[in-house]
């Protein structure tokens, strides 16, 4: 398992994981699973688009 930061990549319009200054996962896709720390506990999650805003931007959770 690798630890990284979840970020939004404006160039691709997708969420991505940043592992270092120049090291990225390469873009997450809907339904892709991951584990995140919430309130000090690891939880299994998956990326989903919840809606599209008025500017045609995806809203993720």
* pLDDT for the residue numbered 23: 95
* pLDDT for the residue numbered 59: 52
- pTM for the whole structure: 0.64
Asked if pLDDT for residue 14 goes beyond 90, the answer is: no
* pLDDT for the residue numbered 60: 54
Asked if pLDDT for residue 54 goes beyond 80, the answer is: no
Looking at residues 36-58, what average pLDDT do you find? 72
Query: If we measure between CA atoms, which residue out of 15, 5, 9, 14 comes closest to residue 37?
Result: 5
Q: Are 8 and 24 in contact (CB under 8 A)?
A: no
């Amino acid at each position: 398992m690798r630890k990284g930061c979840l970020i939004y990549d404006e160039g691709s319009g997708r969420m991505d994981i940043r592992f270092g200054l120049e090291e990225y996962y390469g873009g997450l896709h809907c339904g892709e699973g991951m584990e995140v720390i919430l309130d000090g506990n690891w939880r299994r999650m998956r990326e989903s688009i919840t809606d599209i805003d008025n500017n045609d931007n995806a809203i993720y959770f």
